[in-house]
Amino acid sequence: MRKSFIALVFLALCPLLVAQQALNNDAVIKLVKAGLSDDLIVTTINSSPGIYNTSVDGIIALKTARVSDRVVSAIVAKANAEAAAATAPIPPLAPMSSSADQNSTNSDDPNDPNIAHDPGIYMYAKGPNGMELTMLESSVYSSGKTGGMFASAMTYGIAKMKTKAVVQGAHASVRTGDTGVLFYFYFEETGKSFGGETTPNEYTLLKFDVKSNSRETQTGSANAFGASTGTDVNAAAGFTYKKIKPGIYKVIPAGQLSPGEYCFLPAGGQAGTAAASRLFGFGISAQ
């Protein structure tokens, strides 16, 4: 009866004692000599901080004091757990960022299409080292009424003459064999751009008619009754686009591009004016 009363008193006071000091070998020996059961001592060890001597001499001293193997095992396990917790690395704090920065990309990879680049049109295609971003070169073209001149003359100007953009050289210097190529347009945030336009919607994707030393594409037509702008429907490749962030657009051609020579022609170029005499060419090489 007396032992049960002592046990109850100890259970009531145990949280207060633990809060004041950690257990050690001597404290456990005192609990054993007080006649407390192994269950109660093991529970106390597991729920309390402790500084234990688990060396060979420390364990021999516990056994000499008639501490049971079960209690000694609990002491060793507790000491190992606290040692592991003390040496565990502290995880680094996550960097704080504002909501405006959460969607930004901090990559400095020149082939990352989602970060800012110099204004221009870039081809995004498979290369020897993976996906590569290559800027298209702008080409100056000459414009003139070069198609249907004989028919126009024979009909006294009723038949239409075709206005064509002619680029020197049969092949573009920027090329790829990836028929699933994508494109990215980078405009300056001020609203100005590399060609005067501000969205991909102001461009037309065309396939060139390749000659021996040049590339040609229709930009309009004219006859005695007037002139009109417009590309050859058979040459238009078509595309869709998506705004990634201010000034950056992803352009997806309508289907895979067959081998040949292509260009992005600004809307102003379809009028054949000298002020809009640039286009952005590229080539799809046959595999």
147, pLDDT greater than 60 = no
Q: What is the pLDDT of residue 257?
A: 93
Q: What is the pLDDT of residues 76-114, one digit of tens each?
A: 988 888 777 766 666 665 555 443 344 444 567 899 999
* Reduced 3-state DSSP string for the chain: CHHHHHHHHHHHHHHHHHHHCCECHHHHHHHHHCCCCHHHHHHHHHHCCECCCCCHHHHHHHHHCCCCHHHHHHHHHHHHHHHHHHHCCCCCCCCCCCCCCCCCCCCCCCCCCCCCCCCEEEEEEEECCEEEEEECCEEECEEEEEECHHHHHHCCCCCCEEEEEEEECCCCCCEECCCCCEEEEECCCCCCCCCCCCCHHHEEEEECEECCCEEEEEEEEEECCEEEECCCCCCECCEEEEEEECCEEEEEECCCCCCEEEEEEEHHHHHCCHHHCEEEEEEECCC
Average pLDDT rounded to a whole number, residues 147-154: 45
Q: What is the pLDDT of residue 84?
A: 76
196, pLDDT greater than 70 = no
214, pLDDT greater than 50 = yes
| pLDDT interval class at 157 (50, 70, 90) | very low
What average pLDDT is seen over the chain? Answer: 77
What is this structure's pTM?
0.54
Q: What is the pLDDT of residue 70?
A: 92
Q: What is the pLDDT of residue 33?
A: 93
Q: What is the pLDDT of residue 235?
A: 82
7, pLDDT greater than 60 = no
Q: What is the pLDDT of residue 156?
A: 40
Q: What is the pLDDT of residue 251?
A: 96
